[in-house]
Amino acid sequence: MADVTPQLVKQLRERTGAGMMECKKALDEAKGDLAEAEVVLRKRGIAAAGRKSDRSTKQGVVGSYIHAGAQIGVLVEVNCESDFVARTADFQQLVHDLAMQIAAASPSFIRKEDVTPEAIEKEREIQRARALADGKPEKILDKVVEGRMSKFYEEICLLEQPFIKDNTTTVNDLIKQKIAKLGENITVARFVRFKVGETAQTEN
């Protein structure tokens, strides 16, 4: 087992923002491997974030982003539990990243639960027709449709989308990492995306 030095603990703290004891435990579990220890902390962080998900979020900020060329603009309201956390650099960076994500990926909804039954049913019909046209056997049609619906949610729901700065992480996991680091529940309340030439806007 590699020696877990104070310097290694310090490096992991700087990379993750986790506490000293958490970093030490993660490094012990990862046998001194810094990258593996970061994965251990991330898994624990996401679990910890889940326990905070029912806590009320009545503070926060409205962030904005105007894309180069001023053709696309976004306003997004992101909430947390305290004004103190809302003012931190980590929270402000998250809000900025979410605004950029919305500008780049153009989601229609925040989460899967927000998608209207009509939109879901219409997409299921489209994907079923496509699967039949592709010659998929009747007995596996439902499985094929469900797989394609996952992709559908990934495209239209902000929290399901791959994060534009790291496509191995979803936006939902990015938020959970911040929840773990900042120790407060964080939610996306609503957003609006403007694009020059489009008159009908969607607010969520």
Q: Are 124 and 95 within one domain?
A: no
What pLDDT was estimated at residue 52? Answer: 62
Distant-in-sequence contacts of 4-12, Cβ < 8 A, 24+ apart: 4/28, 4/32, 8/32, 8/34, 12/37, 12/38, 12/41
Average pLDDT, the chain: 86
Q: Is the pLDDT of residue 197 over 50?
A: yes
Q: Are 68 and 107 within one domain?
A: yes
Q: Are 168 and 73 within one domain?
A: yes
Would residue 20 count as lying in a domain?
A: yes
Q: Are 98 and 190 within one domain?
A: yes
Would residue 204 count as lying in a domain?
A: no
What is the mean pLDDT of the segment spanning 43-47?
64
Name the most confidently modeled range: 41-55, 85-99, 108-122.
85-99
Q: Are 162 and 106 within one domain?
A: yes
Would residue 77 count as lying in a domain?
A: yes
Whether the predicted model's global pTM rises above the 0.75 cut: no
Q: Can you say how many angstroms the Cα of residue 43 is from the centroid of all Cα atoms in its chain?
A: 15
> Tens of pLDDT along 106-154?
999 999 899 999 999 999 889 888 888 888 888 888 888 888 888 899 9
Would residue 201 count as lying in a domain?
A: no
Q: Which of 147, 78, 156 is nearest to 112 (CA)?
A: 156
> Tens of pLDDT along 23-38?
888 889 888 888 888 8
User: What is the band of 164 on the pLDDT scale with cuts at 50, 70, 90?
Assistant: very high
Q: Are 95 and 138 within one domain?
A: no
- Number of separate domains in the chain: 3
The number of residues in the chain equals: 204
Token pair of 55 as six digits: 């806590």
Would residue 202 count as lying in a domain?
A: no
What pLDDT was estimated at residue 19? Answer: 65
Range of the domain at 87: 59-111+157-195
What pLDDT was estimated at residue 74? Answer: 96
Q: Are 43 and 97 within one domain?
A: no
User: What is the band of 202 on the pLDDT scale with cuts at 50, 70, 90?
Assistant: very low
Q: What is the dihedral of CA 89, 90, 94, 96, to 10 degrees?
A: 20
Would residue 176 count as lying in a domain?
A: yes
Q: What is the CATH number of the domain that holds 45?
A: 1.10.8.10
Per the CB < 8 A criterion, the answer to whether 86 and 61 are in contact is: yes
Q: Is the pLDDT of residue 76 over 90?
A: yes
Would residue 134 count as lying in a domain?
A: yes
What pLDDT was estimated at residue 109? Answer: 95
Would residue 63 count as lying in a domain?
A: yes
Q: Is the pLDDT of residue 203 over 50?
A: no
Q: Is the pLDDT of residue 47 over 80?
A: no
Q: Are 104 and 65 within one domain?
A: yes
